[in-house]
Amino acid sequence: MKKILVVAAHPDDDILGCGGTLNKLRKSGADIHVTFIAEGTTCRYDKCDILTGEMQKEILIRETSAKAALNLLGIGEPSFHNLPCGRLDQEPIIEINKIIEKEIKQFQPDTIFTHSYKDANSDHRRVVEAIIMATRPGAQNFVEKVYSFEVLSTTEWRFTDSFRPNIFMRLDKDDVKKKTAAFEKYFSESKIFPFPRSTKGLETLMTMRGMQCGAESAEAFEVIREIVP
């Protein structure tokens, strides 16, 4: 994993899904870029056809949080595409696909981290559907690995079709600390435990995934595709 592209539906999904792993891989010298497909805010409003000043302010706050979180991990500024949150199923899949293909062409990653098919969030499922299209064999030959991550308060709430990890990344104490500190930059999204998106919620999941692979802490992933040399 020398060049890693994270394709997330919304700002904060990257940290929730693989923040500890990104910190670990960045320390090992990996080049990492994060791109967000939707803005992550307007789904909380009845309509988003016309962006109000309040909406725009909230979107900017979310973008500022994303930059601060990634900066804490030592990762450069992400790219924002700001498609309407919660409504990616209303966007032509080819348009989402073209955004991702352009990101892949520009960055040329060997590894992609993205969402799971199992998520309750429809935006997440739409993104991974577009990823499959954008990374099909022959389209972007330099992409060797595609992994799904889990996002608290959506992946574990798809009760009828559970996330089934089959690859784990061991995390040290610094990785755990940096992940939780990065998520705390999203002060509008973090809540009090037992809500999953809390410091204790993140630590609990990392501890559980660690127990599954014989480590103190870990993040878990599901392999979509992996080319073995």
Helix (H/G/I), strand (E/B), else coil: 14: helix
49 has a pLDDT exceeding 70: no
Which distant-in-sequence residues (6+ apart) come within 8 Å of 137 by Cβ? none
Which architecture does CATH list for 3-190+220-226?
3-Layer(aba) Sandwich (3.40)
pTM as predicted: 0.94
pLDDT digits (tens, 9 = 90+) for 189-212: 888 899 999 999 999 999 999 999
Query: What phi and psi, each to the nearest 5 degrees, are found at residue 132?
Result: -60, -40
Separation of CA 126 from chain center: 13
pLDDT tens figures, 114-170 = 999 999 999 999 999 999 999 988 756 789 999 999 999 999 998 888 999 999 999
ω into residue 137 within 30 of 0, thus cis?
no
Torsion of CA 82, 86, 92, 93, to 10 degrees: 90
Structural domain boundaries in the chain: 3-190+220-226
Rounded CA gap, 75 and 150, in Å? Answer: 21
Residue 24 has pLDDT above 90, yes or no: yes
